[in-house]
Structure 1
Amino acid sequence: MSGNLRSVYLKLVLTTFFWGGTFVAARLAVKEAPPFFSASSRFSIAGICLIALTAWYAAKEGKPFPVPKNVRELALLFSLGVTGIFCYNAVFFTGLKLTTATSGALIVAINPLLTAVLSALWLRERVTPTQAVGLLVSLLGVAVVISKGSWAVLANFAFNKGDLIMLGAPLCWALYSILGKKALATFTPLAATAYAALFGTMLLVPAALVEHAVAGGPIPSFTLVGWLAILQLALLGTVVGFVWWYQGVGRIGASRAAVFVNLVPFFGALQAALFLGERVVLPQLVGGMLVVAGVYLGSRIKVQPDGKDPQRVPGDGVGNTVAGAGQGEAKA
């Protein structure tokens, strides 16, 4: 293996490590500040960086900053901000305020397969028998995780509220990914993500103000630990993770890079144990293994006969990169 290829694989592993860490960072952030304040802090920083990167890449290629040409394109980009940034992070931060980072990472790991199912319903894409089996296995794993392996919990619907809220995250991400496929017909992944972050932040900030007005009390703030968590979410989990992920996709292809996303729940549980002292119990271990096995089974993609690698690119599972499941080549 060449040194350049080793560097690509290392960056992909580190990216999934950063994405796994977002569950821990979000858990730390919402211990100090409300969910919408935490989310708006994250994407205010990430949005500025993503817009700056988009402008830099455009200038580097001698092109103007990409702007929507009509109301339809503007509405499409706005819908990315609504689904993938605002809604996703609303349930992400709220859920992690009420459940563990480990459970959150395991539940959200079902993102790619739920996206495939909704794509079949909305875009009329074909769901293979293997994908269907993978989805069922993953759903079984999620059921084990949220029920803590207890039949009584399932029978009495005595679920943890945070786990139930986290179930909304894969749905938001699936909608975001499907809309992202349409956006990639006009915008690069970086540009689409920058706009999603911009519009998402424009919605998150007013929500944070309403959140504070309802709750009352002093203006929310973070300690050093809280700000480090926000910076991890914004810079490592969003900006660096995005750039490194698409560098990897460009170098080895989407189907090969997609395998690495299965490391996210593992790294999430590992960092939760190291930094939060969370203990992985047997039902989480079994459920997590079923989720990862199902995602791996359902996400296996064959290279097309013409040698092209289909661009089914998973996102970070935390709503950080757009257009995650885009297909075809994006235009500048």
Structure 2
Amino acid sequence: MRKPLDSTTDGWLCGLAGVLIFSGSLPATRLAVLGLDPLFLTGARATLAGALGALLLMLFRAAQPERREVWPLVIVALGVVVGFPLLTALALQHVSSAHAIVFVGLLPLSTALFGVLRGGERPQPVFWLFSALGSAAVVAFALRHGADASPIGDALMLAAIVVCGLGYAEGARLSRRLGGWQVICWALVISLPVMVPLAWWFMPASFANVGAASWWGLAYVSLFSMLIGFVFWYRGLALGGIAGVGQLQLLQPFFGFVLAALLLHEAVPPAMIAVTAIVIGCVAGARRFGRATPAPARAS
């Protein structure tokens, strides 16, 4: 009989599954904005995922959030349902997905900081050294290649990282009480009164010129990036710790580069690979020193 996984290992495995799913988000978004307006894409992906989330909540008869949980759910919605998708879609009109993926290396630091501020975690001091080293490598790359990039695109990506880190930490904190899939479903449902009108208002007059690649991109970010990925990710953060499991995002640029090269035929400069190798090397150290006292978890 197989020994069941401990909660920490389960959390890291769920977190890795979430990272693998999220790795396709920026390449898929890049495909989608080739034929769809970023504002329509933001509203459409949240509307489609919100409809599925509402269906899941009804099918499984999920309990409604308590009043004290509504505002944190709004923060989650603003961070990961509205903020990150919209800001990245706008950024990808100015930079390639390969360039934007590098900024994802800053997400672990952003998530860890909000994990301390909002989740009450206290990683060991050495943890911050590894986290900062990985983030510094990303920033150095962005500054080194600033002439080849877009200041507007970079600023939008940095803003996206901040709001996403907040949404991740807040969602993980809620997952300990509500459960991982319930958090993202309720956040999506809460956003529907805004996202449905947004999608309707910015819907193109005709879809005749929208290619199949854009539709596939919309389908991926709606189903996987907006819903399925968060089921694994919030469970992982809740069980394994926000700061520690959050460092798995350092692997996301690597997987994203591979997808960008395979699907979009984008060039991946050697410097990008070098930066990715550095930040991946920081994961082991961050994992070892990122353990915090776990809070009671209910991340079903």
Matched, 1:218 2:218: no
Determine the structure 2 residue equivalent to 1:30: 33
Out of 96, 114, 118, the position equivalent to 2:114 is 118
Q: Equivalent residue of 1:143, what SS?
A: helix
Give the whole-Å Cα distance in 2 for the aligned partners of 1:125 and 1:257.
12
Q: Which runs of 5+ in 2 are unaligned?
A: none
Residue deviations 1:26-52 (CA, integer Å, cap 9, x gap): 000011111121122212221222222
Q: TM-score, normalised by structure 2?
A: 0.79
Counterpart of 2:257?
269
Classify 1:189/1:31 alpha carbon distance in 2 versus 1 (closer, same or farther; 3 Å): same
CA distance in 2, matches of 1:35, 1:101: 14
List aligned pairs for 1:137-216, cutoff 5 A: 137-147=133-143, 149-150=144-145, 153=146, 159-184=150-175, 186-208=177-199
Tell me what 2:94 maps to: 98
Question: Is this contact kept in 1: 2:72–2:174, CA < 8 A?
Answer: yes
- Report SS of the residue matched to 2:34: helix
Distance 2:233 2:166 in 1: 21
Structure 1 residue 263: deviation in Å?
Answer: 3.5
Name the CA distance, whole Å, in 1 between partners of 2:54 and 2:14: 22
Q: 1:88 to 1:124 in 2, by over 3 A?
A: same
Structure that is richer in helix per residue: 2
Note if contact 1:113-1:299 (Cα within 8 Å) is conserved in structure 2.
no
TM-score (norm 1): 0.73
Letter in 2 for 1:178: A
Corresponding residue of 1:328: 296
Give how far 1:68 is off: 2.9
Separation (CA, whole Å) in 1 of partners of 2:69 and 2:248: 32
Distance in structure 1 (CA, Å) of the matches to 2:268 and 2:180: 35
Distance 1:112 1:231, change over 3 A: same
Q: Which residue of 2 aligns with 1:68?
A: 65
Residue 209 of structure 1 and its aligned partner are, at CA, apart by 5.5
Deviations 1:152-202 (A, max 9, x none): x48xx9754212211112211222133325533542221111111122343
For residues 101-129 of structure 1, the C-alpha deviation after alignment (integer angstroms, 9 at most, x for no partner) is 12222212322222222333456543422
CA 1:220–1:143: 2 relative to 1, 3 Å? farther
The Cα of 1:207 is off from its aligned counterpart by 4.0
When the two structures are aligned, how many residues end up with a matched partner?
Answer: 292
> Counterpart in 2 of 1:254?
240
Shift of 1:15: 4.8
C-alpha distance in 1 between matches for 2:200 and 2:81: 17
Q: SS where residue 184 of structure 1 aligns?
A: helix
Q: Which of 51, 54, 72 in structure 1 is aligned with 2:54?
A: 51
Report which stretch shifted further, 94-103 or 235-244: 235-244
For 1:50 and 1:254, how far apart are their aligned partners in 2?
24
One-letter amino acid matched to 1:241:
G
Which of residues 11, 15, 18 is equivalent to 2:21?
18
Contact 2:28 2:220 in 1 (8 A): yes
What is the alpha-carbon distance in structure 2 between the residues aligned to residue 174 and residue 248 of structure 1?
15
SS in 1 for 2:112: helix
Instruction: Indicate the SS of the match to 1:176.
Output: helix
CA distance, structure 1, for counterparts of residue 206 and residue 14 of structure 2: 38
Residue identity in the other structure for 2:298: A
- Bigger CA drift: 97-106 or 289-298? 289-298
User: Is there any run of 5+ residues in structure 1 with no aligned partner, and where?
Assistant: 59-64, 311-326
Q: CA RMSD in A?
A: 3.7
One-letter code aligned to 2:82: F
